[in-house]
Structure 1
Amino acid sequence: MRFSDFPFLRYLPFLLLGVFLSKTGWIIPWQWPLILLLALMFSYGFLALKSKSPTLLSGLGYLQMLVLGFFCSLLHLQSSPDWSKSPVEKEYIAEVQNYDLIKPNSFENLLEIKFVKSDSQWLSASGKVLIYHQSNTMLEPGELIWIQNPPEEIPAAINPYEFDYRGYLAKKDIRYRQFIGNGFRRIDSSSGNSLRFWMAHWRQKMSTMLRETIPGERAQQIALALLLGQKQQLDRDTKKAYSEAGVMHVLAVSGLHVGILVGVLLLLIKPLRLSKRAKKGYLIGVLLIIWAYAMLTGMAPSVIRASVMFSLLTLGQLRERKPSIFNILAFSAILMIVFNPDVIFEVGFQLSYTAVAGIVLIQPLIARLWIPSNLVLEYLWQLAAVSIAAQLATFPLSVFYFHTFPTWFLLANMLVIPLTFVIMQLGIPLMILGWIPALGKILGFVLGLLLELEIWILDGFKLLPWTAIDFLSISIYSMLLIWAFLLLWAAWDSFSKKVIIRLALILIVAWGGINFWKELHRPSRQAVFYATDSAWFVDFWENQKLRSWNYQVKDESLDFIIKPNRIQNQWAVLPEPLIGFQSAASQIYFPEVDLEVLADQNLFFGPLLHKGKLQKWENGVWQDENSRDSLKVQGAAFRIIF
């Protein structure tokens, strides 16, 4: 196996580098890299006819991919809505994007702004608003509604390492949210005619049919997620059960689901002796079904990746060739990045491609460690090898984003994946034949029983000890080290073992040096002041001991506001309460740290403020502040390093 045999895999890193370079702050018109890209393409074509130097042509190819990544990212950024030029300050007209999502006290939906009111005229505008309404008539995709009050901007995360909900939505061009109650008017109740809206209507009809044929609310929720990719309706307990068991991936429509669909379709023609022309026509039909299913499920990154991969495999059958899985994987990634460069920052994209890469590279190495003689044992071992390989590749990302590791993932996957395979085998016929009343009820009943069995299995994992290891953290350097070692393992039989061992030693030394430097600069004593709208929280870290005081921060908010900073600093200890004395109606004195606070005003003062370096959490980093006599903890978090 030679790296040169995988052209798309060779070009992918340069495309990624171009995207990353565009995020460094270079503000130039997107036309400039386009002109450079066209010039490079012309040069490549000219030299391909004249020159026989593969090195020169390869270099030009890599440079083209770098410029292409830079251009696509810059174009995507500059074509996104500029909210500063058309702020929504008054009434606006918007188009409904989805069907309503039921919330405890309202309905959630997404609007795309079409016009905003400015003085006495309507101006064309763009952008999206997350709304909550209480209308008796549910909204449908494609409807135009008129809202008379302006929305509010989604607030930024103000506490250290808190989940950046504003940034998460901004990547989807959602900058505003609004509770509109019944304060809107439909001005065009006709549904949209675009293909996307048409597929949304079909998805809704399919969802209604599945709910009518499958008994049990939780079973219905899981069926919608498994078959249609609709995870929004999953309740918190169901999500937690799948997450803690380490099988959340089965709820994301991906290669497992698309593969089962393609497998069923190809199995149907296996016994038939079709002519070459008839077989090609059938395979083209399979391609159309793959992409119809992808659109039906919402075109998530994992679905697109799986659809591109199985489309290329199907095209390979059309040409009676088997394309390289590495080229397929890289080509699908290149397509997605070209159309949406910001997709590389989505967790789903990262987990999806990392899992498949791990399975392709590591699974064969694990599988060959044991060759069972029994067919049943061989199937179970192959399934275990796939689960272990995917987990080895993805657990650094899981720990980085979610700070937890499912200890029973292997057993859970061994039980849930085969069961999910059977559920999908019944679910696909139900989606096709469920409209026939009697047959739909029978298939739905059997499918409901299987889904209840899966729920029972997952609920059983909650009873096991040490379901998950929490409070984990990992640095980017440690992630890269783990992936590097996995790559070295995969390359063990193809390259010089001396070179691999030397590279491994260099990586360990570099990683150790970086961690040693970080430990030297890690504050041994610090006080962190967390803020919410009308409450505050203090953490005081000293001598490996954590002491805290909570003033009116709700318990359900602690995991989102306080826990991320504790995980980042590796404060994996139970906090002790700070000793405080209330000297007046709202004045509290903490003698251990020599600090006073006017609790109802979020105002701190005392000698502690002058004993160390004061920093403010701003734009995702700690930034130095001037020393002050008092500290107002509102709208921002602060810390003092001693």
Structure 2
Amino acid sequence: MITWAKFPFLRYTPALILGIVAYMVLGAGWPTLWPGALGLAAASAALLAGAVRRPHPAATDAAGLLALLAVAVLGAALAQRATESRRPDHLAQLGPRVEAYQAVVDDYTVVRLATYATTLRVRAVRVAGRWRTATGGIRVSVPRAGAGAPPRYGAVWLVRGHPDASKGPLNPGEFDYRRYLAFHQVYHQQFIHPDQYRVVGMAPPNYLVAVSMRAAKQIEGVFKHYVKEKREYALASALVLGIKDDVDADTKQAYAATGTTHIMAVSGLQVGLLFAALTWALRLSFGRVRGFRYWSAGVGLAVIWAYAFLTGLSPSVLRAAVMFSFVIVGRAAGRQEGIVNTLAVAAFCLLLYDPFLVADVGFQLSFLAVLSIVYLQPRIARWFDAKAYFAGRQRPWQSKPAQAAWRGTGWAAEAVWQATALSLAVQVATFPLGLYYFHQFPLSFLFSNLVAVPISSGAVYVGLALLLLKGALALLGLVLPAAANAALDLLPQGLAWVFEQMIWAFNEYIGWIGRALPGALVREIHVTAGQTVLVFGLLGAWLVWQRTRRLVWLGAAASVAVVLAGSRVAEARAGAPLEEFVVYSIPRRSVVGFWQGPTAEFVAADSLPLSETERTYRLLPGLIQRGARAPACRVGWRGATVPTRRLADADSTNPKFYLQTSPVVLASWRGLRLGFVSGRLGPAARPTPLDVLVLRRNARVTPGALAATFGPQAQVVFDSSCKSWYVARHDSALHAQGFRTWDVAAQGAFRLRPPGR
């Protein structure tokens, strides 16, 4: 049994999370919550004081429940207060009236193939020729061609024009980037041309972060100087500093396919390795010194936060630093047995600072991974005692080398088993989130992590040693002659060679695992948020039953499993009979889809094959959501199973016309009459009524010609190959003629079910 009084934050932190999530899901129209939170806090404090003076089980339970309710309401109030869009001076209240604005770069710059992406925080806007203070975040993209250097943290920009509200998902099942940005208090986006802005000054929102980012760039220069191969240099920067700008897409995919992406993110792994090495070194050297427990905690905190500072104070390393800081303080206070409560305290404090961290996948994975290591790993490790097993194979009559071999084998087997238990524990706790966010599960995680994590851990130590050595030699270089500096530089060169070879080794191993087990990555798994919660509930009930052996928890686990299976069956039955015609929103493309339950056929009407990026980000989410099996992708209408015919007029072959007409493609599918027009529409031989008319490539049409040819009842759809100016020019004219219109670039994919379906 758990003595809850010793672990209060195992109750308070879930209550805080519940309140935050309730506001995120349901709280858009809620009134101000602070008065209610303060009132509940005062009432619970009074009730607790009364329960202490006159102890009674019912009064104590009531006071505890009221305190948990107060904490939950506090979480909702904190989330409400952190929602910037509620402020009266926010950009969301101004809309397109903004003529220009002044903002400061307030985030890291992401280097993409053709653009730089970063976040601006608005300080002032110009409306109707007058400047006024304003707030709000804008996610901006700037083309690399002509932009010069990447945007710098703290640079003050003067931007002409107004930002647009962030767009929601444009295609079925697509990632909701608008919601993701909103959790980071960013509600607008803008593509800014180089001639649309200028830098007017430097005013970093946080000077400590600015200095930290400059330090990280200087340290990255050490790796660039000593690690010669581009791939190994990119991985070195990602492994030790968390800078992944130069990691190519193939490498990222290889690590994702083998479940080792966490290696390339500076987070709990690197901070934990630094903490473990520091603890071991201090205990070995100064373990018997008086007051070791206290002053070693101070050294540990200093080193961890120095590392966080030198890696740019990124959010992931800050979370890890806070987490391990609480662990260090807990150990110094003699609370080693309450590490789970200590982690709950760390999560509670982080959520007080930023309630929307609860929706951050890094935050979720970090705490789940550490909790699983603390709770599950020791229990899994007890399944098998490798040392005892091989020690039992020793016999008194065996030679000393044979006995030493048995002992060595037992030590090695124990190390491998401990690493296996660690990997299993982390996967058990985190795989539901992997299914929900990434829609895949790497079956090869055990093989890949078993070798890659130890090698990469060693590489982290060597990389940190390289940085320390280079720093020490730089200080010596201030007083030594140039010849001595050149000789001493051989030391970091040798260490860098070892570092590079280690990175090469584990990268080659990851590539080999991917080639040796090509089918080990289970892709395109769809689980809803509710089903993810049910999976965690099932795991939790099972673990409690494992500890208590009370049948009520086994029954709870079985009940949750039945509900989870029922939700999967209901989801499959709901999607099986669904038929739908879809015009997709893919920039500069003409792509339509024909859905019949889990069967899908896509047609690229512009006769260009879909790129892997277009398929992955535009079509694949919908395929996963619908559980599609063997979807067909057609390039052009040739080969499509949908019956089509071409409608051309007599002018289409007349050489006197400079602008030739393009044939109209007509399709009939499940009772829907579809038409696709591009180019110039000539006079039709006879009217052809349609249900849906798709205009492509800025088709040269007039509302009258469309009405005469296809009838005014047709739904007109502008696909993504139509320019914005073309849509703006024709939309009002078509409405005046009686047509209904839909712009997939602005409104998202057009979806229509066949009649009677």
* TM-score (norm: length of structure 1): 0.88
SS where residue 162 of structure 1 aligns?
A: coil
The residue matched to 1:123 in structure 2 has which SS? strand
Within 1, Cα distance between the matches of 2:10 and 2:243? 32
What corresponds to 1:16 in structure 2? 17
Does residue 494 (structure 1) correspond to residue 585 (structure 2)? The answer is no
Residue 581, structure 1, aligned to residue 638, structure 2: no
Once the two structures are TM-superposed, the CA of residue 315 in structure 1 deviates from its matched residue by 1.7
- Equivalent residue runs for 1:341-490 within 5 Å: 341-373=355-387, 374-435=410-471, 436=473, 438=489, 439-464=491-516, 465-490=518-543
- C-alpha change, 1:279 and 1:369, in structure 2 (3 Å) is closer
Contact 2:82 2:355 in 1 (8 A): yes
Higher relative contact order (CA 8 A, sep 6+): 1
User: Residues 336 and 232 from structure 1, CA distance in 2 versus in 1: closer, same or farther, beyond 3 angstroms?
Assistant: farther
Which of 589, 593, 599 does residue 670 from structure 2 map onto? 593
Matched, 1:145 2:157: yes
Counterpart pick for 1:203 among 205, 216, 224: 216
Amino acid at match of 2:180: Y
Residues in 2 aligned to 1:477 and 1:91: alpha-carbon distance in whole angstroms: 43
What amino acid is the match of 1:346? D
CA distance in 2, matches of 1:96, 1:515: 45
Residue correspondence of structure 1 range 213-232 to structure 2 within 5 A: 213-232=226-245
Q: 1:446 to 1:137 in 2, by over 3 A?
A: same
Deviation for aligned residue 1:516: 4.0
* Matched AA of 2:130: Q
Q: Verify the 8 A CA contact 1:143 1:192 in the aligned structure 2.
A: no
Task: State whether residues 589 and 595 of structure 1, in contact with CA within 8 Å, keep that contact through their aligned partners in structure 2.
Answer: no
- For residue 551 of structure 1, what is the aligned residue in structure 2? 605
CA distance 1:139–1:13, change in 2 (3 Å): closer
Change in CA separation of 1:561 and 1:122 when aligned onto 2, cut-off 3 Å: same
SS at 1:90's partner residue?
strand
What one-letter code is carried by the residue in structure 2 that aligns with 1:303? V
Distance 2:531 2:570 in 1: 14
Q: For 2:380 and 2:456, locate their aligned partners in 1 and report how far apart those are by CA, in whole Å.
A: 23
**Alignment partners' CA distance in 1, 2:296 and 2:467:** 20
Residue 622 (structure 1) aligns with: none
Q: CA deviation at 1:415?
A: 0.9
Structure 1 distance, partners of 2:190, 2:215, is: 27
* TM-superposition CA deviations, 1:564-586 (whole Å, max 9, x none): 11211111223273333222335
Cα distance change on mapping 1:514 and 1:259 into 2, 3 Å: closer
Contact kept in structure 2, 1:423 and 1:447, CA below 8 Å: yes
Partner of 1:150: helix, strand, or coil? coil
**Structure 2: any 5+ residue segments left out of the alignment?**
388-409, 475-488, 634-639, 649-661, 682-687, 694-714, 718-737
The CA distance in 1 between the partners of 2:279 and 2:37, in whole Å, is: 42
1:347 to partner: Cα distance: 1.8
State the match for 2:621 in structure 1: 564
Letter in 1 for 2:53: K
Indicate the larger mover: 366-375 or 538-547.
538-547
CA contact (8 A) 1:15 1:66 kept: yes
Per-residue CA distance 1:126-173 (angstroms, 9 max, x = gap): 223324153435543223232234344443322111112232223223
Q: Taking structure 1 as reference, are residues 189 and 80 closer, same or farther at Cα in structure 2, changes over 3 Å only?
A: same
| CA RMSD, 1 decimal | 3.2
Tell me which residue corresponds to 1:85: 93
Residue aligning to 2:697: none
CA distance in 1 between partners of 2:538 and 2:564 (Å) = 12
Q: Confirm or deny that 1:39 pairs with 2:42.
A: yes
- Which residue in 1 is equivalent to 2:178? 166
Separation in structure 2 between the aligned mates of residue 3 and residue 587 of structure 1, nearest angstrom = 75
Instruction: Answer whether contact 2:327 2:343 (CA < 8 A) is retained.
Output: no
Go from structure 1 to structure 2 and tell me whether the alpha carbon gap of 1:358 and 1:70 turns closer, same or farther (over 3 Å shift): same
CA shift at 1:636, angstroms?
A: 2.7
Q: CA deviation at 1:295?
A: 4.3
Q: Is the 8 A contact 2:372 2:425 kept in 1?
A: yes
Q: Could you tell me whether the CA contact under 8 Å between 2:668 and 2:674 is conserved in 1?
A: no
TM-superposed CA distance for 1:277, in Å, is 4.5
Distance 1:144 1:203 in 2: 21
Q: CA deviation at 1:254?
A: 2.5
Closer, same or farther: CA 38–601 of 1 in aligned 2, 3 Å: farther
Q: What CA deviation, in whole Å up to 9, does each residue of 1:514-561 have, x standing for no partner? A: 344444433414013133255443333337643332224843312222
Report deviation, 1:118: 2.2
Deviation at 1:77, TM superposition (A): 1.4
| 1:413 CA drift (Å) | 0.3
Q: TM-score, normalised by structure 2?
A: 0.76
Q: Report the secondary structure of 2:511's partner residue.
A: helix
Relative distance call for 1:218 and 1:407 in structure 2 (3 A) is same
- Which position in structure 2 is the counterpart of 1:94? 103
Closer/same/farther in 2, CA of residues 272 and 73 from structure 1, 3 Å limit: same
| 1:115 aligned counterpart, secondary structure | strand
Q: Which residue of 2 aligns with 1:636?
A: 748
2:341 paired residue number: 327
Residues 470-505 of structure 1 show CA distances to partners (whole Å, capped at 9, x for unaligned) of: 222224454344333332342234323432332233
Between Structure 1 and Structure 2, whose CA radius of gyration is higher? 2
Corresponding residue SS for 1:548: strand
Q: CA deviation at 1:121?
A: 2.6
**Number of residue pairs the alignment of both structures matches:** 626
The farther-off stretch of 371-380 and 275-284 is 275-284
1:107-132 alpha-carbon deviations (Å, 9 max, x no partner) = 44433222212233321122233241
